[in-house]
Structure 1
């Protein structure tokens, strides 16, 4: 028997825990979640919230749109945690918030893996994935490949190819989060870099989790809609919660709503690590030296974080990525990384589906990027304009169904401001009509000179855009990157990915052109 604290007694079997009545009571009571409980003693060998995944002696957590009939064919459930008593003859723990309960029980079931990790977290409307990958790459070099990553793109739990999997959510459900965190620890990793979305706090996916360092990159309207945040104020409030659960905090001094951000950060922290471009108000600053189509150069000024100072080559285009690089450098410095690892990490960083470029003879240059909101699209298109001032900016874009409804107006605005041609298409339409979504985007286009096309077959839309491009043009394929599926009617339908579509176009139209 392993005693984790004076109040929590749990049995350890192969790095997962057998939950007992005493454990469950103490965990839930300590967070004022427990309403009622069975009077008899029980113990459970497994925990889950999906009836399709249960095993013998499962403590089952009821969440979402659950119906008691789902239990009929679920063999192995011997106890239930729920917000309301169910009409079944099983021991039940009634709680006030089942999402919080799931997070607490999950971290206990997987033996508190966070206790064995240094964890850094990024939040922000744009740049989370980029900054997370940069920090991950730096710390990989600093820790001899003992760093893990939980991002929008990938969850990397160890050093082998089999330890990498595609992410379904920016921040997964708490059960998957702690399950993967347990894998990270069992694989010998010492550091973890992760993205934390506003939804993670709205849905209590990270309830009870604390970080050594939390970084706030920026804020602009996003994720506002019927199934997400009701308004911008709620969205910002949930972003700010990262500060409440971080030992040290990093803030972009150039962010909108900076006064509100700093006020919240100061509530629990005497020192805030602010950063910015030189002379823009941050304590830690950088100067942009150059930005080209395949890389950018920056210099970080001297500070008390002495390992950061110096010149860097960033293996990503776009001056907007240099700010993310400084946030990554600060986090890596606070994790103990040395200058050599910082230089190597930024020089070699690669982000699947992000800022992938491919020159196409006679058809300009194609860029594939995951840009999926106003802020990220605006930065990307602005950079495209600066690099190709004599050509057209051609955009292929759609917007997801049943989420982020505000993005549709945002995309209409941003292509009106910065694009010459736009192809509106499907992007994870889910249970909505992709044409209806495209029409909503088009309704917010207010530039009469913008050439607007509708093509709901995404592959066809990309091919049409590439075929229309000429030597000095740039084609921006935004939204899906290298995602291997399209979400349609609740099903992940196989999709070859935007970059593969571009490569196939080259192979078809340019014969023997070599693709790197």
Structure 2
């Protein structure tokens, strides 16, 4: 357990301190580091961060036994306490976390996945491959930090955000190391890169999947350039960069990737190191061939969605970088299904299909509809989705136009409205849906919207339930509430549809 003076010394050596006073506490052992006042332990450091931070949080931390606070400003308090003022709290947080959790140097192989679409599926594909490989070597199940779940050998919990804050990341890394887990795969969001949550980490493999305009708002990225540049910064801390040659802006991505120690390319066009070709569908199953300098093999995917070939190629490239054998890659990809990603539900009479997917931005919507048109020719498409409040404002236009263009009917509903009115968000989005001639209905209750879409559907219809995936929560105002997942709601509505279908058949016979 490190003493407080060692935290100060590390911050000073990194030229992060502006002023400090730790008189009398220099040799105090630090027993915790947190930014949540409710998680402060006696003898801990409390980090004052965030635009909504209030001095009341610091007072609560002191009541709980905090011995020192770290912040960008000095607070006038009624009681004396040690404090360290830093120039940039975001840069300081990873330093504090690394000291407390003893993660320097990293005690495991870290894989980072970024991109506008496909981070979660790709991360789970990589985890599945590494799990099979490790099992063959009597190793442990590998870790993951995703927008669905977090697993580190000690904890298996639902995720609250795509990429956690630095303190949480380092805690999970420490847990993995303590449990002798050798690999950790994590989604790396543009926000995590911009706000330095992953600063100081070194990724053995860093994957750049794709790029499209998203997360543009006053509280996220001011413009596309800010968003794109944030994602490109992943390469600054990457040993082996994996780049998708099918991505938009590929030339710029390739150019930025040169700062990594090594670059591997993948895709279905150009001349990538990992080349996917001859993509086919048979009975709803997707197969494709992969050629590289080590093998030329046919792969099968359990998951629907032609766009998942891109995610699979990314995972194969990461596995290639780690030296995984091709049989482990094939076995894993043929069996893995990711919760809330292209989850298919079929009625008993096989006339109705519902698909739950996390698609929530322009690129994911475009790829999803393209795949559904190819996988379900001749089917009508009903779409249920919503747009978030307070952020990603461009989605209302983009998703409204795309869903309206490719759907036969759209049901707009709730998806983390925050401080905005669901009705207002739906009206703004619905304007674009109707602009391209598609019928549109606004139903605030998400369960009811899903139920209505399934009940309204006729024969040969695909109902797409998009945006939440496996998330079991909704954000209203500044609070988050638990709710059923889309999969749970679809399953319930589909069962009801089946019961009604059976009753109709019995009634006709009578």
TM superposition score normalised by structure 2: 0.92
Matches within 5 A, 1:220-235: 220-235=212-227
* Aligned match of 1:452: 440
Q: Structure 2 residue aligned with 1:71, among 46, 58, 62? A: 58
Distance change (3 Å), C-alpha of 1:334 and 1:511:
same
Distance in 1 (alpha carbons) for counterparts of 2:9 and 2:241: 31
The Cα RMSD (Å) is 1.9
Q: Structure 2 residue aligned with 1:29, among 7, 12, 27? A: 12
Cα shift at 1:388: 2.5
What secondary structure sits across from 1:348 in the alignment? Answer: coil
Cα shift at 1:19: 3.8
Distance change (3 Å), C-alpha of 1:293 and 1:124:
farther
* Aligned match of 1:429: 417
Distance in 2 (alpha carbons) for counterparts of 1:261 and 1:226: 25
Q: Does 1:287 align with 2:270?
A: no
What secondary structure sits across from 1:155 in the alignment? Answer: strand
Q: Structure 2 residue aligned with 1:387, among 375, 388, 398? A: 375
* Aligned match of 1:249: 241
What secondary structure sits across from 2:197 in the alignment? Answer: coil
* Aligned match of 1:179: 171
Distance change (3 Å), C-alpha of 1:106 and 1:45:
same
> Gaps spanning 5+ residues in structure 2: where?
503-510
Q: Structure 2 residue aligned with 1:315, among 296, 302, 316? A: 302
Tell me if the contact between 2:22 and 2:68 (Cα under 8 Å) persists in the aligned partners.
no
Q: Structure 1 residue aligned with 2:129, among 126, 130, 138? A: 138
Tell me if the contact between 1:138 and 1:342 (Cα under 8 Å) persists in the aligned partners.
yes
Matches within 5 A, 1:35-50: 35-38=18-21, 40=23, 41-43=26-28, 44-50=30-36
* Deviations, residues 390-410 of structure 1 (Å, cap 9, x unaligned): 221110010112222221111
Paired residues, number: 489
* Aligned match of 1:105: 96
Cα shift at 1:297: 0.3
* Aligned match of 1:6: none
Cα shift at 1:48: 1.4
Q: Structure 1 residue aligned with 2:70, among 71, 77, 81? A: 81
Matches within 5 A, 1:164-313: 164-269=156-261, 271-277=262-268, 279-291=269-281, 294-303=284-293, 306=294, 309-313=296-300
Distance in 1 (alpha carbons) for counterparts of 2:273 and 2:321: 15
Cα shift at 1:445: 2.9
Tell me if the contact between 2:122 and 2:314 (Cα under 8 Å) persists in the aligned partners.
yes
* Deviations, residues 200-221 of structure 1 (Å, cap 9, x unaligned): 0112111111110101000000
Distance change (3 Å), C-alpha of 1:56 and 1:25:
same
Q: Structure 1 residue aligned with 2:313, among 286, 302, 326? A: 326
Distance in 1 (alpha carbons) for counterparts of 2:106 and 2:436: 57
What secondary structure sits across from 1:72 in the alignment? Answer: helix
* Deviations, residues 161-182 of structure 1 (Å, cap 9, x unaligned): x732110111001111111221
Distance in 2 (alpha carbons) for counterparts of 1:136 and 1:513: 40
Distance in 1 (alpha carbons) for counterparts of 2:177 and 2:104: 6
Distance in 1 (alpha carbons) for counterparts of 2:479 and 2:179: 32
Tell me if the contact between 1:364 and 1:471 (Cα under 8 Å) persists in the aligned partners.
yes
Distance in 1 (alpha carbons) for counterparts of 2:491 and 2:334: 25
Tell me if the contact between 1:120 and 1:211 (Cα under 8 Å) persists in the aligned partners.
yes
Deviates more, 1:124-133 or 1:56-65: 56-65
Distance change (3 Å), C-alpha of 1:184 and 1:169:
same
Deviates more, 1:289-298 or 1:405-414: 289-298
Cα shift at 1:75: 2.2
Matches within 5 A, 1:348-387: 348-360=335-347, 361=349, 364-387=352-375
* Aligned match of 1:338: 325
Tell me if the contact between 1:290 and 1:297 (Cα under 8 Å) persists in the aligned partners.
yes
Q: Does 1:60 align with 2:46?
A: yes
Distance change (3 Å), C-alpha of 1:229 and 1:244:
same
Q: Does 1:482 align with 2:473?
A: no
What secondary structure sits across from 2:334 in the alignment? Answer: helix
Tell me if the contact between 1:507 and 1:513 (Cα under 8 Å) persists in the aligned partners.
no
Cα shift at 1:289: 3.0
* Aligned match of 1:4: none
Distance in 1 (alpha carbons) for counterparts of 2:434 and 2:411: 15
TM superposition score normalised by structure 1: 0.91
Q: Does 1:419 align with 2:414?
A: no
* Aligned match of 1:120: 111
What secondary structure sits across from 1:92 in the alignment? Answer: strand
Distance in 1 (alpha carbons) for counterparts of 2:22 and 2:277: 65
Distance in 2 (alpha carbons) for counterparts of 1:148 and 1:481: 21
Distance in 2 (alpha carbons) for counterparts of 1:507 and 1:323: 33
Distance in 1 (alpha carbons) for counterparts of 2:27 and 2:195: 28
Distance change (3 Å), C-alpha of 1:396 and 1:24:
same
Distance in 1 (alpha carbons) for counterparts of 2:353 and 2:497: 14
Tell me if the contact between 1:392 and 1:474 (Cα under 8 Å) persists in the aligned partners.
yes
